Amino acid sequence: MHVSAVKKKVAILLLLAGMHAGTASQMSESPYDEMTIEMPLDEELDTAAGEDSFVVDKMPVLETFIQAHYPPQLVKRGISGVVLLDLLINEKGTVDSVGVVTGVHPSLDSNAVAAAKQFVFSPAMSGNDSVAVLLQYQYRFTIDDVIDSIKPYVNFKGRFLEKGTRTPIADAMVVVKFLDSIDQTLPLPFHSYLKKISAIEGQHLEEGMIVTSTDSSGNFSFFSLPACSIKVQMIAPGYEQYASDEKITKEELVEGIFYVQRLSYGEYEIVVYGKTEEKEVSRHQITVQEIRKIPGLGGDAVKVVQAMPGVARPAFGSGEVIVRGSPGWDTRYFLDGVTMPMLYHFGGLKSVYNSEALKSIDFYPGGFGTCYGGAVGGAIEIKGKKAADDRLHLKLDLSTLDGYFLAEGPVNEKVSVMASGRRSFIGEIMSWYIKNNRDKFYMTISPFYWDYLIRTDIKVSKKHNLFVTLFGSRDSLTMLLTEASSGSDELSGAKDKIGQNETFHMVMAGWDAQLNDRMTNTLREAFTYHRVGYTILGWASSKQCGITNTLRDQLSIKLTERTKLNLGLDVELTSVDVILGMLDGGNKVVRDTNDNWLFGVAGTYANLEIKPIPALQIIPGMRYDYYPELDYDGSIAPEFWDYKKYDGINCISGEPSFRLNSRWQFAENQTVKASAGNYNQTPQPFGQVIHKRWGEPKMPATKAVHYVAGHEWQITDIINSDVQFYFNRQWNIPVMVSNPGNSQQEDKKWSRNGIGRMWGMELMLRHLQTSRFFGWVAYTLSRAERYNHTAKKWELYDNDQIHNLQVLGSWHLKKEYDVGFRARYVSGNPTTPIVGVIEHATDNDYTPHFEPVPGKKNSKRVDPFFQLDLRIDKKFVFDKWMFSTYVDFQNISYFFYKSPEMWEYNYDYSEKMTVSMPPMIAVGFKTEF
């Protein structure tokens, strides 16, 4: 056959053989061989059709495939590809000759040829004749089989936990970087292997590294990692980058727990941008994270209220919260809506509710809504923290005053529990000091306190949450005056003792329910047992023991998208037994007992949250409070001034209130707000002023009206300001009156005629928490006055402090150091000057030798008060726990300015001395995990 003719013939067959070869390829069991065909040119086909060609009816079919040898060293090197062969298949179907058209590697080419020569085809058929054909065959050498043979299995897993706290680090990126000691036994190239294992679900390849992420428990797993040395890296926001070297060995599971340092262990980890939706005009909300490290507060979160605008500086050692010029008893304290019997141990030393168990503190200096009653000053609500449900947490704390523990954690999926206990040892320290300095002391002092808290949270369902809090405290103070003993044996068996104790136990249950899409309900029920007793030498003794039942419920109904109705019940009733004995002016023991005395407040309220436009919120509300202990004709309409026209109408001893709060966000970052409302409370000092013997039994409730206007400005994401102007007026304030000296009339001891007014401006410029800093500037300009009916003019009230400026800041530094400062400048308190002296010729237990003759009331001021506090915290973070310590330097300004607390006089008032708070150092240690 002529070559050209053969060429043409074969050329035609190329087309047909290609089809045939494809079929053969499909029959092949080997992935390494494949017949392919190049498409012939159209002109060639046209030409061939005119020659002596024959038509192949049946293409050769590969019947015996021979596997070409694929040398492992080439597989390992990843050398693969397609060897294109020309096969001349004779009429018998065997391969006569093989030619390499395109090669891959000499070994593979020759192996492919050797294998192809042994192929057996069914011969090509043209009609009934078998014919020889030439076809091209692609012999493919591929490593896919090796790759497919790799099965996924976990050979490296672990858990990332936060160093110190053992908190799981969720959603962290975990990266495995392969070091140089790559596994030499891998049957295929490393990059091919990586490519293969990166396709396993849960991990992927990124720049030559295998990457996965942690789940919510901080767990991670890697599949089928090659045996080699790796570097494990963890990257998560808020944490230092973690890296460690690990060795993956063949067919062994490597496990590990990795502790990662948080970037900051300060209390600033929660970065708050923007604000939550506000309803109240005057509310200041303080998160616990902000305040634990404010200098001068000894780590006590509740005391931070004293650093807020509108709160006057209390006397040294007093935790009294003097809100907008009102006395401390005008402000009520709540724990989750239930009145706390006492806020502080020893009147200001430490708050009775453990700061670690707090979620937040809401402080209302005035103008608060209808959900709070029975107070004409302010309201403070402490919100308890839910028990942690992620893991067990334990904190142990020792300071110069006391020590406490707090443990919390889940019991099961639905129940978590928190428990804390605290005990003071200041008494032991003082006793030790006094014992070693007997010559300086003529008394022994034994202060002692403890408190406890057990809170159980139950997640009943997604829409229902329950909690039960058991909370109690005891304060006990005994002073034995070694050089004094006086009074009556009837009142005290120990006439040299001044003692006081106060104990309470409270059990509270709370139920927060989402009743349906439009209704929510908040219920609180509490029983509080409260016992107070005191003895003052042989002069006076008292015991009070009572049980308080508190029921608070608020039902909120979303009427429309822009209207919400809140209906509430607020009942707090106490039944108390009182035993009081005291020496009267004639050294005669006077006793008073009162069994099952019922007092408290029963209130109900309703308010409507209306948003006529999204930027405007108006909340009108009504409230009615009934005081069972009072016996007077209450008002029938809310009193916004001291109106008299309804006097004498027989009404129960209660008071209605109307309050209106409104806020208008007139710009994206600015809001104006205003409120007006009237308020009332049982007259104070409680019990005494309505006592049938020492008080005025017909004393009415004390009333007040608050007007507040203000402006809020979110200056930047983290800086905001709040300016408020207020005017408060109070009337029916009990005032003690002097004896009229009329022998034919019963002495009147208390009058209802007291009138007070307070007004001022408050500024709060606040830098919110960031990772490194928080702080604020609080300034109050205020005036508090009482009306003098005798002089017929207004006089300064005792709590008047014109200027009150507080600046504080706290920085989180490297190596877990925190430093903070607090500076306070406060105008001196008004004081009444002493213009003369009267000497009492008879000096006994009651009469001082010299009695001062007061001048015009509050006509002088003591010098301004300035105090600077510093605090340094240092935290040591270990894998499984943390240890922190702090030093709180209080009043270090003493060394350059002695702020006056009061004036002290010598025995005959001829010499005066300024009494200052001494500088103090508080040291504390805390261990936690």
Tokens of 835: 């213009």
319 vs 654, beta carbon nearer other proteins? 319
Q: Considering beta carbons, is residue 511 or 909 the nearer one to other proteins? A: 909
- CB-based contact 80:142 (threshold 8 Å): yes
Considering the complex, what minimum distance in angstroms separates the CB of residue 174 from other proteins?
55
What is the three-class DSSP state of 365?
coil
| Residue 779 to residue 231: CA distance in whole angstroms | 55
Q: Judged by CB, which is closer to other proteins: 484, or 547?
A: 484
Cα–Cα distance list, 888 to 344, 870, 914 (Å): 19, 6, 25
Q: Tell me whether residue 887 or residue 915 sits nearer to other proteins (CB atom).
A: 915
Between 289 and 501, name the residue whose CB sits nearer to other proteins.
501
Select 220 or 449, whichever has its Cβ closest to other proteins: 449
Tell me which DSSP letter residue 633 carries.
-
Which C-beta is closer to other proteins: that of 276 or that of 743? 743
Taking CA 671 as the corner, what is the angle to CA 669 and CA 676, rounded to the nearest 5 degrees?
Answer: 165
The burial class, CB within 10 Å (0-12 / 13-18 / 19+), for 612 is exposed
CB environment 517-552: b (16+ within 10 A), e (fewer): eeebbbbbbbebebbbbbbbbbbbbbbbebebebbb
Residue 589 in tokens? 């023991």
Min separation Cβ 360 and other proteins, Å: 26
Rounded Cα–Cα distance for residues 303 and 291 (Å): 9
The CB-of-504 to other proteins minimum distance in angstroms stands at 15
Nearer to other proteins, 47 or 906 (CB): 906
Q: Select from 383, 354, 359 the least CA-distant residue to 454.
A: 354
For residues 316 and 477, what is the distance between their CA atoms, to the nearest angstrom? 18
CB nearer to other proteins: pick between 298 and 538: 538
**Min. distance of Cβ 919 from other proteins in angstroms?**
10
Minimal distance, residue 923 CB to other proteins, in Å: 18
Q: How far is the CB of 814 from other proteins (least distance, A)?
A: 38
Cα torsion 271, 275, 279, 281 to 10°: value is 100
Q: How many CB atoms lie within 10 A of CB 198?
A: 16
What is the closest distance, in whole angstroms, from the C-beta atom of residue 428 to other proteins in the complex?
15
Nearer to other proteins, 132 or 481 (CB): 481
Longest dimension (CA), the chain: 158
Task: Quote the CA–CA distance of 406 and 385 in Å, as a whole number.
Answer: 12
Q: 43 by DSSP, 3-state: which?
A: helix
Q: Which two tokens stand for residue 356?
A: 């670690």
Class of residue 862 by CB neighbours under 10 A (exposed 0-12, middle 13-18, buried 19+): middle
Residue 123 CA to residue 131 CA, distance in Å, equals: 7
Q: How far is the CB of 869 from other proteins (least distance, A)?
A: 17
Pairing relation of β-strands 332-335 and 379-384? parallel
Residue 901 Cβ vs other proteins, minimum distance, rounded to whole Å: 8
Question: CA 349, CA 425: separation in Å to the nearest integer?
Answer: 13
Nearer to other proteins (CB atom), residue 382 or residue 498: 498
CB of 245 to other proteins, least distance (A): 58
Provide the residue type at 255 as one letter.
E
Helix, strand, or coil here: 489?
coil
For other proteins, give the closer residue by CB, 352 or 601: 352
d(CA 37, CA 149): 30
d(CA 625, CA 571): 9
The secondary structure element, H or E, covering residue 895 is: none
- B/e letters for 1-19, b = 16+ CB within 10 Å, e = fewer, are eeeeeeebbbbbbbbbbbe
Within a 13 Å sphere around the CA of 669, how many CA atoms are in the beta-carbon half?
Answer: 11
Using alpha carbons only, how large is the chain's radius of gyration in Å? 44
∠ CA 471-477-482, rounded to 5°: 170
Of the pair 75, 532, the CB lying nearest other proteins is at 532
Cα dihedral: 287, 291, 297, 302 (round 10) = 10
Give me the phi and psi of 390, to 5 degrees please. Answer: -95, -40
Q: Nearest distance from residue 443's CB to other proteins, in Å?
A: 8
Q: Which of 88/430 has CB closer to other proteins?
A: 430
Smallest gap from residue 852 Cβ to other proteins (A) = 11
**Measured from the CB of residue 302, what is the shortest distance to other proteins in angstroms?**
15
CB of residue 536 to other proteins, shortest distance in Å:
8
For other proteins, the closer of residues 16 and 917 by Cβ is 917
Instruction: State how beta strands 81-89 and 242-247 pair.
Output: unpaired
In angstroms, rounded to a whole number, what is the distance separating the alpha carbons of residues 221 and 174?
Answer: 9
To other proteins, the closest distance from the beta carbon of 346 in angstroms equals 5
Tell me how far apart the alpha carbons of residues 629 and 652 are, in angstroms, rounded to a whole number. Answer: 11
Q: Name the residue nearer to other proteins (CB basis): 254 or 498.
A: 498
**Least spacing, CB of residue 399 vs other proteins, in Å:** 17
Least spacing, CB of residue 445 vs other proteins, in Å = 5
Nearer to other proteins, 709 or 837 (CB): 837
Characterize the bridge pairing of strands 242-247 and 229-235. antiparallel
CA distance 365 to 322: 9
Q: Which is nearer to other proteins, 262 or 313 (CB)?
A: 313
Least Å distance between CB 735 and other proteins? 14
